[in-house]
Amino acid sequence: MKATVVCVIYLCCVILSNGKEIQDTSQIPKNQKGRPSFHLRPPKNWLNDPNGPVYYKGVYHLFYQYNPYGSVFKKPIVWGHSASHDLVNWIHLKNSLIPKNSFDINSCFSGSITILPGNKPVILYTGVDAKNQQVQNLATPKNLSDPFLIEWVKYPGNPIMTAPQWVKPNDFRDPTTAWKGKDGIWRVAVGGVKNDSGVAILYRSKDFVHWSLHDDPLYYGKNTGIWECPDFYPVSVNDRNGVDTSEVDMNLKYVLKVSFRAHDVYTIGRYEADKEKFVPDGLGITGNSSDLRYDYGKFYASKTFFDSVKKRRILWGWINESDSSTDDINKGWAGIQSIPRRVYVSTTGTQLIQWPIEETERLREKHVTYSGEKLRGKSLLEISGITASQVDIEVSFKMPKLEVTELFNPKWDDPQVLCSTNTAWVSGQAGPFGLLLMASKDFKEQTAVFFRIFHNKNRYVILMCSDQSRSSVRQGIDKTTYGAFIHMDRNVDVISLRSLVDHSVIESFGAKGRACITARVYPQFYMEQEARVYAFNNGTLDVVIETLDAWGMKKTNGN
């Protein structure tokens, strides 16, 4: 009991002592209906890349790129810092890394945390120095006994890495979590570009302070432009458990993720430690629409970490806004972090599966359920009894017979183009069917998340779309429609969809997390009336809802 009391007192002291910088909400506009209620973000100002997620002494931490002076991206950028005991409710602590030194005076850009032997966390981050060049720096906690990691001390010998001669000094950033080989040597990858080819630049160190450039990159991809925010980690092929970054085992595959052209792209393969090479199983990262993505919507600069308590790997991504900078200034805030997602490899080992962490379900409140409802061609079913603007909804649709679905055209190689030309109101045979979210009473504004089913050589081809084309009547808003092909391990009879709606953000997970699409929506009607949600079928074939469950969601602490 005494420990609990001490912890509560400590939390109160942290909030009181640091609240003036981040917790002050006096200047936030009153009308904030689009502001998410259970996604992580500080009370005001600009937020982007998640940095250095870590678990330390009973506390989860997430750092992030943050502008403490306004709601647009403007240097110098600092490391904001939030902490949690449950990955749901957060407190916002004082900024951790602030530009002050010659090696980071123009910004403290993205990076990672590595846990050294003896449970010692250390930050590797990109600094923009006095010459506006990007260099890699090191920082350590001032007090290792502090579970909230309030104070950090920058290494006086920074920078510890500078750009190779073949990389421009402003194209060298975002170090990964480091990993340790059997030889006791640490490795880390840094993002860059060489002749328009993205590169994961490899460095090695015996003491984590003195780093040397390896002759060749860990991996590179042609014609992609610069790689930002690389992530490199092992995954188990035997189960869903996460694996520590330095784990060595025969039953492991490796994931390399890089961020470019507004997407987070990954490939799965093997790590040949003796050659310091990552070798993808398939084509690797090509820069084409066939690349595997964490999320096919608004999701960028992501970062994972190994949760040693529950033996899982957790993923966060930055979800940016779709409205204008002027709107962001008027709101007083911009950018949120995604729902933390558990990530693991599929049974075939060919793709990653993502699912909201189980703690998210603690936010569920009022529950409504439906089963056995038939959606005839071009029909709607309103889901009533819950707050449609703050909801977690899961639905399973019975698939139509394979032989009566439309034939897939092999020329349809880009799912986003296919979804953009075949929106929710373009009728097919098996689909579109799915959910209408953040919908107005007159349907003039709505966001449709749906499936279309095709067949190709006795197999299903499943297209998942998130159609924002009618999400708002407002002008100057990004209303891009997103799409993804869902790769199933086998033919199935049921296809599932889960969407978490949090006012202006919709995160959707198709087929139990085989495809994910995140959208931002800003309907005009929502300023005056409440949103509605429907299950719908605009195809000619009937679709049966096997089960549909929807829960209103609580507002989390820290939002």
Confidence tier at 28 by pLDDT (50, 70, 90)? very low
> Distance between CA 335 and CA 328 in Å, rounded?
9
Please check whether residue 136 is in contact with residue 175, taking contact to mean a CB–CB distance below 8 angstroms. yes
Please give the residue range of the domain that contains residue 112.
Answer: 2-24+36-356
pLDDT for residue 478 is more than 80:
yes
- Residue 30 in any domain: the answer is no
**Of residues 224, 86, 103, 93, the one with CA closest to residue 157:** 103
- Residue 183 in any domain: the answer is yes
The full length of the chain comes to: 559
Lowest mean pLDDT among 111-120, 276-285, 326-335, 399-408: 399-408
- Answer with the one of 336, 356, 376 that is the final residue of a domain: 356
Let me know whether 326 and 367 are in one domain.
no
- Residue 29 in any domain: the answer is no
Count of CB atoms situated within 10 Å of the CB of 309: 9
Let me know whether 338 and 406 are in one domain.
no
Let me know whether 270 and 204 are in one domain.
yes
Q: What's the average model confidence in pLDDT over 10-39?
A: 54
Let me know whether 410 and 261 are in one domain.
no
List the alpha helices (DSSP H) in 23-100: none
pLDDT at 31: 54
Number of domains in the chain: 2
pLDDT for residue 60 is more than 90:
yes
Lowest mean pLDDT among 22-36, 118-132, 398-412: 22-36
Let me know whether 342 and 490 are in one domain.
no
Confidence tier at 117 by pLDDT (50, 70, 90)? very high
Let me know whether 160 and 207 are in one domain.
yes
- Residue 165 in any domain: the answer is yes
Q: What's the average model confidence in pLDDT over 496-508?
A: 98
Encode pLDDT of 456-467 as tens digits.
887 889 999 999
Q: What's the average model confidence in pLDDT over 133-157?
A: 98
Let me know whether 178 and 295 are in one domain.
yes
Let me know whether 205 and 301 are in one domain.
yes
Q: Which CATH number is 439's domain given?
A: 2.60.120.560
pLDDT at 250: 83
**Of residues 124, 330, 145, 308, the one with CA closest to residue 230:** 124
pLDDT at 291: 95
pLDDT at 15: 36
- Answer with the one of 308, 335, 356 that is the final residue of a domain: 356
pLDDT at 489: 67
Q: Which CATH number is 108's domain given?
A: 2.115.10.20
Known catalytic residues are 49
Let me know whether 312 and 438 are in one domain.
no
Let me know whether 394 and 336 are in one domain.
no
pLDDT for residue 556 is more than 90:
yes
- Residue 558 in any domain: the answer is no
Confidence tier at 10 by pLDDT (50, 70, 90)? very low
pLDDT at 19: 38
**Of residues 211, 236, 203, the one with CA closest to residue 306:** 236
- Residue 31 in any domain: the answer is no
pLDDT for residue 4 is more than 70:
no
Q: What is the DSSP string of 263-319?
A: EEEEEEEEEETTTTEEEESSS---SSTTSEES-SSS-EEEEEEEETTTTEEEEEEEE
Confidence tier at 557 by pLDDT (50, 70, 90)? confident
Q: What's the average model confidence in pLDDT over 29-52?
A: 88
Let me know whether 93 and 242 are in one domain.
yes
Cis, peptide link before residue 156, omega less than 30° from 0: no
Count of CB atoms situated within 10 Å of the CB of 269: 17
pLDDT at 30: 52
**Of residues 158, 165, 159, 157, the one with CA closest to residue 192:** 165
- Answer with the one of 329, 356, 383 that is the final residue of a domain: 356
Residue with tokens 């749901």: 88
Encode pLDDT of 226-250 as tens digits.
999 999 999 999 999 999 999 988 8
- Higher-confidence residue of 139 and 32: namely 139
Confidence tier at 20 by pLDDT (50, 70, 90)? very low
pLDDT for residue 6 is more than 60:
no
pLDDT at 335: 97
- Residue 101 in any domain: the answer is yes
Encode pLDDT of 301-321 as tens digits.
999 999 999 999 999 999 999
Q: What's the average model confidence in pLDDT over 264-273?
A: 97
CB within 8 Å of 396: residues ≥ 6 apart: 494, 495, 496, 545, 546, 547, 548
Q: What's the average model confidence in pLDDT over 399-424?
A: 91
Mean pLDDT of the chain: 92
pLDDT for residue 11 is more than 80:
no
pLDDT for residue 8 is more than 60:
no
Encode pLDDT of 73-86 as tens digits.
999 999 999 999 99
- Residue 326 in any domain: the answer is yes
Let me know whether 351 and 448 are in one domain.
no
pLDDT for residue 7 is more than 50:
no
